[in-house]
A and B are shown apart, each in its own frame.
Chain A
Amino acid sequence: MSPRDFHIVWGARSSRAGGVVALALVAALAAAPYYAGSANLNLLTQFFAYLALATLWNLLAGFSGLVSVGQQAWVGLGGYCMFALTMFGGVHPLAAVAIAGVVAAVVAVPVAGLLFRLRGAYFAIGSWVVAEVFRLFSSQMSALGGGSGTSLPTRVITSIATSRQGREFTIYWSSLALVALVMGLTIWLLRSRWGLALRAIHHNEIAASANGVETTRAKLVVYVVAAFGTAMVGGLIFLQKLRISPDAAFSVNDWTAFVIFMTVIGGIGRIEGPIVGAIIFFALRETLSDLGSIYLLMLGAVAIVAMLKAPRGVWGYIVEKTGFEFAPLERRVVYTPAKPATAVLPKGDAQ
């Protein structure tokens, strides 16, 4: 039994099946404009945006222990960057979305430098302060409409596509591509050495540090990646809305509370959690949102009950019962003897 006989693998058959299912699903969704109606496309576009936001929040809170309640800072920054670049820079809207992501990543570095001085829950409130600062700054920018906001000029809107349908298709495909990118990037990051470092930090930061994990750098990487993705999602959200205002762009309810709800209900700390959670959230929203504040009250209550009674969420419960995972992140050691027939084990050494 030599060390060569051991292999480290991710998951098993279910993850390969998961890959196939994911590809088939993306293909089916990519063809949706040809068979789904305009209202459904609109709903799916919003779904993709929320799924991407929830995946990124999950990356921060579920995998890295960076519980942020200020992700609206990056959604709003992305939206405002996209507006400024298209209105004053003449940049193509989709290019502006990508640049907005880069701008957010650059801004996130000094912001992280400040926020990482706060531990745990104080980090959460600190991230909220940052979002408030961004919101107050945005309402000071009179070129972008100040406190009441502004709409995208027709010139910019028609530069996406000349027809209304063409615009809907373009934004739909961009959102699908972005959510695929975000999920792919998250899975890749979590399976990389950074992912291993993050899990170690999440379990015990001091022990991780003692074992040589560069804790601050690992957290910085994940914070910057999350800001990058979140800002691009923000850019696309406001490209679909065509209108931006400080209160809409930096809304804690829309871009953080709902996102936390989805992740917690679906299963925090699992790649599949936000998918399940986003489906549940949209099902509730489509049936109950007419109730207004009662609906929000119910969401809050459901989140509390879920956190106390089922902290691993719906997907966590399913995995617990069935062991089935689409995108496993845990490495497993598998024993596959290289030459099983001729292997000679020294006596007393074998286990």
Chain B
Amino acid sequence: MEWTNSILQGVLVGGLYALFATGLSLIFGVMRLVNIAHGDLIVLASYLALVATQTLGVGPLTSLLLIVPLMAVIGYGLQRILLNHTLGDDLLPPLLVTFGLSVIIQNGLLEVFTADSRKLHAGAIETASWPLVSGVSVGALPALQFVVAVLLIAGLQALFYRTAIGRAFRATSDDPATAQLVGLDNRHVFGLAMALSLAVVAIAGVFLAVRANFDPAQGPSRLIFGFEAVIIGGLGNLWGTLAGGVVLGVAQAIGAKIDPGWQLLAGHLTFLAVLAIRPEGFFPRVKH
């Protein structure tokens, strides 16, 4: 029963990893940009939520109403002012510029908030749980997180395949030059993609900050979890990414159950094993 419980927790946290991954693969899909600062932006969202809860006296979930649009604006600005200038045939500029950005965000947060680890407090919902069967119970907060993750992924799926902006994303992804010929402004489309990416990860970042401690140095591990979920699930498939996140969450939960020192290692080794056995991931790109 203890094992069932751990695996269940792993599945639920996997939803958050899937959201990190979705943000990452969204911008990769649309503009072939891998954002090394992705994890640090997630941590930035957690700190912004911390400031919002402290100054406005609202709960972390309410603060999302402010943090999500704020992160979207930051994303759009970042893309238009900085990242659009790095895009091209060469791989190095986007990689190195976002790497520099990662160093800047980490040290900026360190300067403002110190290296102390913080946590967001959501009140009663943190401890509420429903027993499923004897010995297995599901916490209200993890369950809420997972449901939100699933709903968000369903929403993004609908956005991509049913709306005009989704069509613009797919068009620029397929052929940026032709997309421009038919009247799309790529710079604007890329800005919107980054805005959407950061809005999604802001939700995940705030949820994770309620669940576990965070500090300025945690960005890279968040980037890596998201990346692993993308590769395990298979590139270019949102539901696959959710599965990838769940696989990663379960692997970490099982590792942690064996030995606390094995939590992260088990996740990484699962990723490497998938890379060795099935490099295209479990659910590679779906054709539409």
Q: Hey, which bits of chain A sit against chain B, CB under 8 A?
A: 61, 65, 67, 69, 114, 117-118, 120-122, 124-126, 128-130, 132-133, 136-137, 139-140, 147, 252-253, 257, 260, 264, 268, 293-294, 296-297, 299-301, 303-304, 307-308, 311
Contacts and interface: CB of A to CB of B under 8 A. Distances in A.
Contact of A122 (B34, B97, B99, B265): B34
Contact of B92 (A61, A140, A296, A304): A61
| Chain B at the A interface: SS class | helix
A136 B263 CA distance: 10
Interface in B86-137: 86, 91-97, 99-104, 106-108, 110-111
Interface stretch (B59-67, B176-184, B200-208, B270-278): B270-278
Contact of A139 (B28, B85, B94, B261): B261
B231 interface: yes
Between B28, B107, B110, the greatest number of chain A beta carbons within 10 A of the residue's beta carbon is seen for B107
A124 B34 contact: yes
Given A260-B99, A297-B104, A301-B100, A129 B93 contact: no
A294 B104 contact: no
Q: A-side binding surface: helix, strand, loop or mixed? A: helix
A233 B236 CA distance: 40
B111 A297 contact: yes
Interface in B216-236: 220-221, 223-224, 227-228, 231
Interface in B11-39: 28, 33-34, 36
Contacts of B147: none
**Chain B interface: which size bin?**
35 or more
Contact of A136 (B85, B107, B264): B264
B97 A308 contact: yes
A124 B36 contact: yes
A30 B110 CA distance: 41
Contact of B91 (A120, A133, A299, A304): A120
Given A121-B34, A122-B34, A293-B111, A128 B101 contact: no
B269 interface: yes
A114 B97 contact: no
A260 B96 contact: yes
Closest 3 CB pairs of A and B: A121-B34, A300-B103, A293-B107
Contacts of A300: 100-104, 107
B227 to A, nearest CB: 5
B268 interface: yes
